[in-house]
Amino acid sequence: MNKKIFSGVQPSGNLHIGNYLGAIKNWVELQDKYDSVFCVVDLHAITTPQDPEELRKKTIEVAKIYLAAGIDPEKCAIFIQSHIPEHTELTWILNTIIRMSDLSRMTQFKDKSRAISAKAVHKNSKGEIIEEKVMTGELLGGRTNKNINVGLFDYPALMAADILLYDTEVVPVGEDQLQHIELTRVLAKRFNQKFGETFKIPEAGVVKEGMRIMGLDDPTKKMSKSATSEYNYIGLTDDADTVRNKIKKAVTDSGSEIKYTDDKPALKNLINIYSLLDDKKPEEVVEKYKGKGYADFKNDLAEVIIKFLEPFQEKFNSLSDDEVLGILKKGAEKVRPMAEAKMKEVKEKMGLI
């Protein structure tokens, strides 16, 4: 039997070419080699404030992106996380063996809690309601601001439950998720030692090439679907004119020569995007633009991106909401027996009747 993989994307923000090159493209290649489970992780999304209507819309949109990218529901299980209640049930079980020290070390929690803003509501002297943005990650008197929700802190327990519920053996992730996979391994071993062999110990399947596509406006930070500026990313649903405009405004380094070097991080990032979407080695891209400047390179890069997006968007736009919901329902039916069997085993091992 093939090894099993599990992965998922949150239905929040705007999915971009970094998400595709760093994750989804890899899933398409892996689905023929592994028993694959791909999830739209809506429960993870609500650890930060979400508009209900927007969340519903984005959940279907992410599933459409999976399908348009080439994820085949005949080969894989594609479903919505909240449709399988065992995800949250196992999270609670794991919460009883996870330690506060485990969670407090998570660097992503520290990063996200600093970045999240909330609205503090006050009344002025006239009794009128005013809103003031406050940073929830700021330290107040040496303690983290009380506006941070417990779900954000406990996020890794839910992620571990996602993985362990299906006897996942390989988790395709980027480097920024390695700490979460290591914690999942620790929890699986801890549970097995205490209650007997129950969970498989998963491994991280890190994709080296293309997993860290950086922001177009800041090559020192990863391209982000929740970026405040739309000029940070190329969205998978961006039209041709938008792509050209974003690439035209993309940050470049000093000088004019096309070089692939760490000394030119902005240019290196753009070359990576070009090479991955046009199936060329970075050295081949550099050779092609020998003696040419940034303008020629950027113009062609925009067209390479547009050429990639056209068939993707054609497939994306051809999918109806009802069709996608049907696929997601079938996917949930496919994984439900696995989730139920695993939870039954977990409860029996723990002495729960």
Name the catalytic one among 222, 246, 264, 298: 222
Q: Which domains does the chain have, with CATH numbers?
A: 4-107+147-212+320-350 (3.40.50.620), 110-144 (no CATH), 238-315 (1.10.240.10)
What is the pLDDT, as a whole number, of residue 105?
85
pTM over 0.95: no
Report the distance separating Cα 65 and Cα 312, nearest Å.
Answer: 8
Q: Which residues contact 82 (CB under 8 A, 6 or more apart)?
A: 42, 43
- Asked if 171 contacts 7 with a C-beta cutoff of 8 angstroms, the reply is yes
Name the catalytic one among 112, 246, 298, 342: 112
Specify the residue for token string 């190329």: 234
Return the H-helix or E-strand segment holding 119.
strand 117-123
Report the distance separating Cα 38 and Cα 328, nearest Å.
Answer: 10
Which two structure tokens, joined as six digits, stand for 276? 């991955």
Name the catalytic one among 64, 225, 246, 342: 225
Q: Which residues contact 268 (CB under 8 A, 6 or more apart)?
A: 219, 260, 261, 262, 282
What is the pLDDT, as a whole number, of residue 143?
46
Report the distance separating Cα 153 and Cα 151, nearest Å.
Answer: 5
Over the stretch 38-80, which tens digit does the pLDDT of each residue have?
A: 999 999 999 888 899 999 999 999 999 999 999 999 999 999 9
The question of whether 189 is a catalytic residue gets the answer: no
The question of whether 112 is a catalytic residue gets the answer: yes
Torsion of CA 9, 13, 16, 21, to 10 degrees: -20
pLDDT-flagged residues of the chain (< 50): 117-122, 130-144, 209-210
Q: Which residues pair with 171 in a beta bridge?
A: 204
What is the pLDDT, as a whole number, of residue 119?
45
Of 184, 195, 12, the closest CA to residue 98 belongs to 184
Report the distance separating Cα 106 and Cα 159, nearest Å.
Answer: 13
Over the stretch 294-351, which tens digit does the pLDDT of each residue have?
A: 999 999 999 999 999 999 999 999 999 999 999 999 999 999 999 999 999 999 999 9
